[in-house]
Amino acid sequence: MMAASLAETNGDFYNTNGTQNGSSKPLLELYVKASGIDSRRIGACIFCQEFWMELYALYEVGVVRVEVKTVNVNSEVFKKNFLGAQPPIMIEEEK
């Protein structure tokens, strides 16, 4: 969540929603590096693309909802907050 609030994100990219048998499916959010040309597109990160393919397969069989958000790592906000540090790659929310 921290990377999303600090960097530029586009939550309307690859949104998928749905419910199954009256109960809502879990929502998985994947934050990926944005393209250097267009910040709304997924960048050239093989790890992000691999996770996207696996999550999309889970969406196709109706197990989860998926939201992919791009993060512009070249933005001034991102550079200021993560200068010399590794940004978080996995965030879990406890309920």
The reported pLDDT for the residue numbered 77 is 82
HSE of 5 in the Cβ direction (CA atoms, 13 Å)? 3
Mean of the per-residue pLDDT values for the chain?
A: 73
Of 24-33, 43-52, 77-86, least confident by mean pLDDT is: 77-86
The rounded Cα 23 to chain-centroid distance in angstroms is 23
CATH of the domain at 54: 3.40.30.10
HSE of 60 in the Cβ direction (CA atoms, 13 Å)? 6
Whether residue 8 lies inside any domain: the answer is yes
pTM for the model stands at: 0.57
Number of domains in the chain: 1
Domain residues for the domain of 49 are 2-81
Q: Per-residue pLDDT averaged across 41-47, rounded?
A: 84
Q: Which residues contact 91 (CB under 8 A, 6 or more apart)?
A: 1, 2, 3
